[in-house]
Amino acid sequence: MFTGLSAFPLTPLADDRLDEAAYTGLVSRLAVAGVDSITALGSTGSYPYLDHAERARAVRLAVAAAGPAPVFAGIGALRTSQVLAHAADAQAAGASAVLLAPMTYQPLTPDDVYGLYEDVTAELSVPLIVYDNPGTTHVTFTDDLYASIAKLPNVASLKIPGPATAERIAELRKLLPAHVAIGISGDVHAADGLAHGCDLWYSVIGGTLPAAALPIARSVPGAPGRLAPLFALFAAYGSVRVVAAIAEQSGLARRSCLPRPLRGLDDAARARVAEVVAALDLA
């Protein structure tokens, strides 16, 4: 399962409720496009903003709409008991794997982080993806922490932030058990990460524009450079706001589909996104 393109769809809201029709539509598009896996409730899917029932419902909808594509489900939460509840829901819904980032309000020690994964993996019957996302979680994984967590049962993949040089991937291969797949995140780093030995790409843009992402995942020459203007927008405005604007402008979600207090882009930034999408013929 842990190869190729794993697409991270938005979880659109409408009137502060899960927009089930829009969400199902987004996931179905991914299945039709032929992505290798679908990661529901990743950071692009705004999982921390959803309540327990919304998250459980989103995973069920994703599994139902995904066709043959395996669904990975985000289970991160502040308390271990909540993580375990989300994991149980994801497994009951038929998720093929779960994705866990260590969320925090009080700073977490390395022992706290290891203990979280130790507690969760002990209860799992599906594989787990370790989600290293320091820009969002403010948790720093050391190589020693990677190595110790990777030895736990059911750990199957490590989602790393970019950039990922060949030397860095070689270092990680020495640290990790052979069965643990390395996935690159940060879309601008995807092509280099895959070229340097990463097994898969955990993709923001793949969740909304899979046809634009698949050529990068399939190593089509020139594909990464073509999307450089889009990745520049990610750097300027934040990837989740940009893909939300694209989804809204394309009729895939209603205006203001992000959970408040996230307000999305202003009109000037939306116009710039529309220009880039049109120029790249992404719609």
Q: Mind listing the pLDDT tens digit for each residue in 240-257?
A: 999 999 999 999 999 999
CATH of 4-218, one of 3.40.50.11740, 3.30.1360.120, 1.10.260.40, 3.20.20.70: 3.20.20.70
Q: Mind listing the pLDDT tens digit for each residue in 60-69?
A: 999 999 999 9
Query: pLDDT at residue 2 above 80?
Result: yes
Q: Where are the alpha helices (DSSP H) in 66-222?
A: 80-93, 110-121, 134-137, 143-150, 166-175, 190-195, 210-217
Task: Please compute the mean of the pLDDT values over residues 218-235 and round it to a whole number.
Answer: 93
Q: What is the pLDDT of residue 222?
A: 86
The average confidence (pLDDT) of the chain is: 96
Task: Please compute the mean of the pLDDT values over residues 124-135 and round it to a whole number.
Answer: 95
Q: Backbone phi, then psi, for 50, in 5-degree steps?
A: -100, 150
Task: Please compute the mean of the pLDDT values over residues 273-280 and round it to a whole number.
Answer: 97
Query: pLDDT at residue 102 above 90?
Result: yes
User: What is the Cα–Cα distance from 30 to 36, expressed in whole angstroms?
Assistant: 9
Q: What is the pLDDT of residue 152?
A: 98
Work out the pLDDT band at 223, boundaries 50, 70, 90: confident
Task: Please compute the mean of the pLDDT values over residues 18-42 and round it to a whole number.
Answer: 98
Task: Please compute the mean of the pLDDT values over residues 115-141 and round it to a whole number.
Answer: 95
Task: Please compute the mean of the pLDDT values over residues 154-182 and round it to a whole number.
Answer: 96
Query: pLDDT at residue 224 above 90?
Result: no
Residue 80 burial by CB count (10 A; 0-12/13-18/19+): exposed, middle or buried? Answer: middle
Query: pLDDT at residue 283 above 80?
Result: no
Q: What is the pLDDT of residue 60?
A: 98
Q: What is the pLDDT of residue 46?
A: 97
Q: What is the pLDDT of residue 42?
A: 96
Q: What is the pLDDT of residue 178?
A: 96
What pTM did the predictor assign? 0.96
User: Which two structure tokens, joined as six digits, stand for 20?
Assistant: 């089930």
Q: What is the pLDDT of residue 252?
A: 98
Domain residue ranges of the chain, discontinuous segments joined by +: 4-218
What amino acid is encoded at 202 in this protein?
Answer: Y
Rounded to whole angstroms, the maximal C-alpha distance in the chain is: 49
